[in-house]
Structure 1
Amino acid sequence: MLRLTDLKLPLDHPAEALPNAIRAKLGIAPAALRSFTVFRRGYDARKRGAIALIYTLDVEVADEAALLARHADDRHVQPTPDTSYKFVAQAPAKLEHRPIVIGFGPCGIFAALILAQSGFRPIVLERGKAVRERTKDTWDLWRKRNLHPDSNVQFGEGGAGTFSDGKLHSQIRDTQHHGRKVLAEFVKAGAPEEILYVSKPHIGTFRLVTMVENLRASIEALGGEIRFDQRVDDLLVETDAQGERQVRGVRLADGGELRSDHVVLALGHSARDTFEMLHARGVYLEAKPFSIGFRVEHPQSLIDRARFGPQVGHPILGAADYKLVHHGKDGRSVYSFCMCPGGTVVAATSEPGRVVTNGMSQYSRNERNANAALVCDIRPADYAPYGEGPLAGIALQRHWETHAFHMGGGDYSAPGQRVGDFLAGRASRAVGEVQPSYKPGVHLTDLSTALPDYAVAAIRAAIPAFDRQIRGYALPDAMLTGVETRTSSPVRIRRNDDDLQSLNTHGLYPAGEGAGYAGGILSAAVDGIRVAEAVALSITGERTESP
Structure 2
Amino acid sequence: MLEISEISCSLKEGSSERGCIAACTREATRLLGCRRQDLSRVELHRKSIDARKKSNVHFTLSARIDVASGIDELRLLEHVPPRDARRVRAVDGAEPSFERPRNAANVPDADERPIVVGAGCAGLFAALTLAEAGLAPLLIEQGDDATRRTSAVRHFNATGELDPASNIQFGLGGAGTFSDGKLNTGTKNPLHRLVLRTLVEAGSPRDILWDAKPHIGSDVLPEVVTNIVARIRSCGGEVRFRTQVTDIELDARGAVRGVTVTHEGRAEHIPARAVILACGHSARDVFALLRHCGVALERKTFAMGVRIEHLQADIDRALYGTAAGHPALGAAPYSLVAHLDNGRSLFSFCMCPGGEVVAAASERGGVVTNGASLNARDGRNANAALLVNITPSDLPGTDPLAGIELQRSCERRAFACGGGAYRAPAQLVGDFLQGRASTGPGRIAPTYPRGVTWGSIDEVLPAHVIDTLREGLPLLGRRLKGYDCPDAVLTAPETRSSSPVTVVRDRTSCVSVSTPGLYPCGEGAGYAGGIMSAATDGIRCARALIDAQRA
Same fold (TM over 0.5): yes
Partner of 1:396, secondary structure, is: helix
Partner of 1:354, secondary structure, is: coil
1:191–1:211 Cα contact (<8 Å) kept: yes
Deviations 1:28-51 (CA, angstroms, capped at 9, x unpaired): 345534431111111211111212
Deviations 1:176-217 (CA, angstroms, capped at 9, x unpaired): x21111111111111111111111110111100111111111
Deviations 1:122-152 (CA, angstroms, capped at 9, x unpaired): 0011111111111111112111000100010
2:183–2:532 Cα contact (<8 Å) kept: yes
1:148 equivalent to 2:154? Answer no
Query: How much does 1:424 deviate?
Result: 0.7
TM-score, normalising length from structure 2? Answer: 0.94
Aligned-pair Cα RMSD in Å: 1.6
Letter in structure 1 aligned against 2:30: A
> What is the aligned partner in structure 1 of residue 464 from structure 2?
454
> What is the aligned partner in structure 2 of residue 161 from structure 1?
176
Consecutive unaligned residues of structure 2, counting only runs of 5 or more, are none
Q: Which one of the candidate residues 88, 92, 96 is aligned to 1:85? A: 96
Q: Which one of the candidate residues 48, 58, 65 is aligned to 2:64? A: 58
> What is the aligned partner in structure 1 of residue 126 from structure 2?
111
1:10–1:50 Cα contact (<8 Å) kept: no
CA–CA distance in 2 between the matches of 1:94 and 1:10? 53
- Greater alpha carbon shift after TM alignment, 445-454 vs 389-398: 445-454
CA–CA distance in 1 between the matches of 2:40 and 2:524? 48
Partner of 1:42, secondary structure, is: strand
CA–CA distance in 1 between the matches of 2:23 and 2:171? 47
1:191–1:203 Cα contact (<8 Å) kept: yes
Partner of 2:482, secondary structure, is: coil
1:89–1:537 Cα contact (<8 Å) kept: no
> What is the aligned partner in structure 2 of residue 471 from structure 1?
481
Query: How much does 1:410 deviate?
Result: 1.6
1:67 equivalent to 2:69? Answer no
Partner of 2:338, secondary structure, is: strand
> What is the aligned partner in structure 2 of residue 5 from structure 1?
5
Change in 2 beyond 3 A, CA 1:186/1:89: closer
- Greater alpha carbon shift after TM alignment, 43-52 vs 6-15: 6-15
1:323 equivalent to 2:335? Answer yes
1:361 equivalent to 2:376? Answer no
> What is the aligned partner in structure 2 of residue 430 from structure 1?
440
Deviations 1:470-497 (CA, angstroms, capped at 9, x unpaired): 1111111110000000010000001111
- Greater alpha carbon shift after TM alignment, 65-74 vs 337-346: 65-74
2:304–2:495 Cα contact (<8 Å) kept: yes
Partner of 1:504, secondary structure, is: coil
CA–CA distance in 1 between the matches of 2:321 and 2:198? 36
TM-score, normalising length from structure 1? Answer: 0.95
Letter in structure 1 aligned against 2:73: E
Deviations 1:38-91 (CA, angstroms, capped at 9, x unpaired): 111112111112123221111233321212355598343222323422445736
> What is the aligned partner in structure 1 of residue 29 from structure 2?
23
> What is the aligned partner in structure 2 of residue 185 from structure 1?
198
- Greater alpha carbon shift after TM alignment, 249-258 vs 30-39: 30-39
Query: How much does 1:274 deviate?
Result: 0.5
CA–CA distance in 2 between the matches of 1:72 and 1:230? 62
Letter in structure 1 aligned against 2:144: K
Task: Output aligned runs, 1:293-308, within 5 Å.
Answer: 293-308=305-320
CA–CA distance in 1 between the matches of 2:327 and 2:199? 23
Letter in structure 1 aligned against 2:91: T
Letter in structure 1 aligned against 2:182: K
CA–CA distance in 2 between the matches of 1:17 and 1:452? 52
Change in 2 beyond 3 A, CA 1:460/1:83: farther
CA–CA distance in 2 between the matches of 1:538 and 1:78? 38
Letter in structure 2 aligned against 1:36: V
Letter in structure 2 aligned against 1:5: S
Letter in structure 2 aligned against 1:296: I
1:280 equivalent to 2:289? Answer no
1:89–1:536 Cα contact (<8 Å) kept: no
2:512–2:518 Cα contact (<8 Å) kept: yes
1:523 equivalent to 2:536? Answer no
Q: Which one of the candidate residues 485, 506, 518 is aligned to 1:496? A: 506
- Greater alpha carbon shift after TM alignment, 273-282 vs 63-72: 63-72
Letter in structure 1 aligned against 2:151: K
Partner of 1:5, secondary structure, is: strand
Query: How much does 1:323 deviate?
Result: 0.2
1:106–1:521 Cα contact (<8 Å) kept: yes
CA–CA distance in 2 between the matches of 1:69 and 1:429? 69
> What is the aligned partner in structure 1 of residue 546 from structure 2?
536
Partner of 2:458, secondary structure, is: helix
> What is the aligned partner in structure 2 of residue 226 from structure 1?
239
Query: How much does 1:163 deviate?
Result: 0.4
> What is the aligned partner in structure 2 of residue 544 from structure 1?
none
Consecutive unaligned residues of structure 1, counting only runs of 5 or more, are 542-547
Deviations 1:205-247 (CA, angstroms, capped at 9, x unpaired): 110011111111111111111111110011111133xxxx311
Partner of 2:320, secondary structure, is: helix
Runs of 4+ in structure 1 deviating by more than 6 angstroms, as ranges, are none
